[in-house]
């Protein structure tokens, strides 16, 4: 009945009857897992710390009646409280976990996404300007889901992207050469510096997503393009994104 203990990151939760919550976890070995956390809204509940968003814990999931999972035990390894206590960090990380909850399947291993989220949350604990981390997160989440952004070569003809006008098309798969862009409806021009950002994020480690040599305006442009790619493939206009834009607008 009870399964072995697994490392899990809490993505989202919602209250259900009594003092229970339905919690969506990300587990490396089994993707997204939704489990009932009985009594976790009661004060003093031993499960409460582990069902806080972004918490990373060792959890024991048991199968309850009707095949639903029940959170039997949980031991927090990293609470990430600093993210929940900071409005800007909370807004970025809420968008990340929302994208994961919407796009990762139940029951399928998701080691790559787990590592990406784990590292991104660690970065969020220490970094203030999180736009590069959010751009990096979206770019690599898509790659892990099978939608790689083309940035080294033209997404359409596969040719080199020479200096000069570079364009972007989510439908075509990313960056395009000027010649292909002219014949692709819906493509838009992008700056060379935004192309540099996307190329940098595509090959670097998450901890190097924030690079002081990257121009802030170019980061904003590149992040917007990557976000359009997310919208195209994950087909969602999440409330967490509106919240993020609102918070960043207020704190700007
Ligand atoms: Zn081309």
> Does domain 82-251 sit in CATH 1.10.3720.10?
no
- CA 5 to mean position of chain CA atoms: 24
CA of 157 to the centre of ligand 1 (A): 4
Centroid of ligand 1 to alpha carbon of 159 (angstroms):
5
Residue 186 has what pLDDT?
86
Task: Give the Å distance between the CA of 192 and the centre of ligand 1.
Answer: 16
What pLDDT digit, counting tens, does each position of 69-104 carry?
A: 999 999 999 999 999 999 999 999 999 999 999 999
Which range, 89-103, 172-186, 235-249, is most confident?
89-103
Judge residue 132's burial from the number of C-beta atoms within 10 Å of its C-beta, 0-12 exposed, 13-18 middle, 19 or more buried: buried
Joined together, the tokens standing for residue 232 give 């195209």
The confidence score (pLDDT) of residue 1 equals 45
- Looking at residue 230, its pLDDT comes to 94
- For the chain, give every domain's residue range: 2-79, 82-251
| 2 — pLDDT class (breaks 50, 70, 90) | low
| Mean per-residue pLDDT, 39-43 | 94
Tell me the CA end-to-end span of the chain in Å, nearest whole number. Answer: 51
Distance 174 CA to ligand 1 centre (A): 11
pLDDT digits (tens, 9 = 90+) for 210-226: 888 889 999 999 999 99
Ion ligand 1 — residues with CB < 5 Å: 154, 156-157, 159, 177, 180
Is residue 166 over pLDDT 50? Answer: yes
Determine the distance separating the centroid of ligand 1 and the alpha carbon of 185, expressed in angstroms.
14
pTM for the structure as a whole? 0.94
Distance in Å, CA 163 to ligand 1 centroid: 13
How much distance in Å is there from the Cα of 209 to the middle of ligand 1? Answer: 27
Q: In the structure, what pLDDT confidence band is assigned to residue 197 with cuts at 50, 70 and 90?
A: very high
CA of 138 to the centre of ligand 1 (A): 24
Confidence of residue 178 (pLDDT cuts 50, 70, 90): confident
CA of 100 to the centre of ligand 1 (A): 32
Q: How far is the CA of 176 from the centre of ligand 1 (A)?
A: 5
Read off the pLDDT band of 3 (50, 70, 90). Answer: low
For residue range 146-163, list pLDDT tens digits in order: 999 999 999 999 998 877
Q: Give CATH superfamily name and number for 2-79.
A: Nucleic acid-binding proteins (2.40.50.140)
């Amino acid at each position: 009945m009870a399964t072995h203990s697994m490392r899990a990151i809490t993505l989202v939760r919602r209250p259900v009857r009594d003092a229970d919550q339905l919690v969506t976890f990300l587990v490396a070995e089994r993707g997204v897992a939704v489990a009932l956390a009985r009594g976790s809204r009661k004060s003093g509940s031993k499960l409460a710390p582990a069902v806080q968003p972004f918490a990373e814990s060792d959890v024991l999931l048991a199968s309850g009646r009707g095949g639903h999972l029940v959170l039997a035990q949980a031991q927090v390894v990293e609470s990430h409280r600093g993210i929940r206590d900071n409005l800007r960090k909370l807004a970025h990380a809420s968008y990340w976990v929302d994208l994961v909850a919407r796009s990762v399947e139940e029951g399928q291993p998701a080691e790559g996404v787990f590592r990406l989220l784990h590292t991104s949350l660690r970065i969020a604990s220490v970094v203030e300007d999180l736009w590069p981390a959010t751009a990096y997160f979206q770019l690599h989440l898509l790659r892990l889901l099978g939608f790689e952004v083309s940035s080294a070569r033209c997404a359409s003809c596969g040719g080199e992207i020479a200096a000069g006008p570079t364009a972007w098309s989510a439908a075509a798969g990313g960056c395009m050469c000027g010649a292909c862009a002219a014949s692709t409806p819906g493509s838009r021009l992008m700056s060379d510096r935004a192309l540099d950002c996307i190329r940098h994020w595509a090959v670097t480690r998450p901890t190097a997503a924030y690079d002081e040599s990257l121009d802030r305006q170019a980061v904003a442009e590149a992040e917007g393009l990557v976000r359009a790619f997310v919208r195209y493939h994950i087909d969602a206009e999440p409330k967490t994104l509106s919240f993020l834009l609102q918070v960043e607008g207020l704190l700007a």
